[in-house]
Structure 1
Amino acid sequence: MIESSVSHAYDAVAPLYAELFSDMLETLPLERSLLAAFAELVRGHGGPVADVGCGPGQVTAHLHSLGLDTFGVDLSAEMVALARRAHPDLRFDEGSMTALDLADGALGGVLAFFSTIHTPPRELPAACAEFRRVLAPGGYLLLGYLAGDDSLPRETDHKVAPAYEWPPDALADLLREAGFTEVGRMRREALEGERFRSGYLLMRAA
């Protein structure tokens, strides 16, 4: 039910979202550096990368430009259609992060770039377990999230659908329970025009 409502919400704003965020990485040097480090680690390990919650595909395309065999997955049919039109040389599929149509250990990397922010805390362990299932041992997960200061995740207002801020330690613990070890983390303060702090966890599949 949550996934259905989120999918419909993003279907409704897909063209505007694609327009607003088409060049977002140009103004985010820290994120570009993180993605470059993620790409280097995955290239050293080998295997394709799934951009889970890819939206209109701009970050999928960026990873591809860094030399990764990358494809995108998104709940929103409208987002997938936009991604396919914008990047016809890349693969984009409709799908759920809790039930990826992939074999166990099929991937060298998973990018979840703020795609878990609408997942209620009680449901997030299922997504973490699915990320671990599709990653080969030693593969990498880069997860972007809304970084909060509370000791527990907190629901917050979001322009598209309800979202959740997570304290870094609590989210890292959840990923460790799913079978990951932490490689590194970063928290960035909100930029002008942003409402939330951004957090990033780089994890390795045990």
Structure 2
Amino acid sequence: MIEPDFLRTTRTAYDSMAALYAESFANGLEDHPLDRAMLIAFADLVRANGGGPVADLGCGPGHVTGLLHSFGLDASGVDLSPEMIAIARAAHPELRFEVGSMTALDLADDSLGGVLARYSIIHTPPEQLPRVFAEFHRVLAPGGHLLLAFQAHDDPSELAESFDHKVALAYHWSPDRVADLLSKTGFTETARLRQTAPPEAERQFPQAHLLFSKV
């Protein structure tokens, strides 16, 4: 199968700045209490459903994967960038990290209790998003939980709007349209959080967190 151009472009871009990216996010989520709250709720729900394995898809340098592990989850990470995975393995040798793509996950059907995709769908072209969500649904066990986070926009007539991300072409998404697409894929909404951008933020995009479960 021929690899889509956007995967090659995104991999190359993140490989080239993996060390800088890891340094920039070295403090994790200490200054993001609402982000942490959604991750804690996600972890609680996964444990309540039997505590199956959790995959952090688009894990980057692995700081959030490590946080999920600290919450008592059997967490592992997948990322498109081999350089990011090398950094994650060095930082968290006790955890599993693999190179892979959200469009074709090397995971068995119904094998996960949870999927986290935190700001990792933003480089996915809109026409590829149904394929990605179908993969999330395939690998989650019945009753498993999905937590998405992404930059958002408020026009429900448009699924995605592109913006000039520092690393590679990216999209911010309509939470309503993304939620509708997840519902059509077979997920049920549990909760959502919309955060406005703080005044000091370089880009004034709101942030969305969507929590869904597999029917």
TM range (shorter): over 0.9
Q: Distance in 2 between matches of 1:199 and 1:113?
A: 10
Q: Spell out, residue by residue over 1:166-193, the C-alpha distance to the aligned partner (whole angstroms, 9 max, x if none).
A: 1111000111111101001111111223
Letter in 2 for 1:41: L
Q: 2:49 aligns with which of 45, 51, 59?
A: 45
**CA contact under 8 A between 2:197 and 2:207: conserved in structure 1?**
yes
Aligned residues: 206
- The question of 1:184 aligning with 2:188 is answered no
TM-score using structure 2 length: 0.94
Give the SS at the match of 1:122.
helix
> In the alignment, which residue of structure 2 is the partner of 1:205?
214
Q: Distance in 1 between matches of 2:84 and 2:28?
A: 16
> In the alignment, which residue of structure 1 is the partner of 2:34?
30
Once the two structures are TM-superposed, the CA of residue 129 in structure 1 deviates from its matched residue by 0.3
> In the alignment, which residue of structure 2 is the partner of 1:175?
182
Q: Distance in 2 between matches of 1:106 and 1:94?
A: 18
Letter in 1 for 2:22: A
> In the alignment, which residue of structure 2 is the partner of 1:19?
23
Moved more, 149-158 or 61-70: 149-158
Q: Distance in 2 between matches of 1:114 and 1:37?
A: 18
Identity of aligned residues (%): 60
Letter in 2 for 1:205: K
- The question of 1:155 aligning with 2:162 is answered yes
Q: Distance in 1 between matches of 2:165 and 2:171?
A: 9
1:87-166 paired onto structure 2 within 5 Å: 87-150=92-155, 151-152=157-158, 153-166=160-173
TM-score using structure 1 length: 0.98
Give the SS at the match of 1:25.
coil
Structure 1 segments unaligned to the other structure (5+ residues): none
Structure 2 segments unaligned to the other structure (5+ residues): none
Once the two structures are TM-superposed, the CA of residue 25 in structure 1 deviates from its matched residue by 0.1
**CA contact under 8 A between 2:119 and 2:148: conserved in structure 1?**
yes
Q: Distance in 2 between matches of 1:177 and 1:74?
A: 26
Q: Distance in 1 between matches of 2:201 and 2:176?
A: 26
Q: Distance in 1 between matches of 2:26 and 2:196?
A: 21
Letter in 1 for 2:44: E
Q: Spell out, residue by residue over 1:141-164, the C-alpha distance to the aligned partner (whole angstroms, 9 max, x if none).
A: 000011101221111110001111
Q: Distance in 1 between matches of 2:11 and 2:43?
A: 28
Moved more, 92-101 or 194-203: 194-203
**CA contact under 8 A between 2:118 and 2:150: conserved in structure 1?**
yes
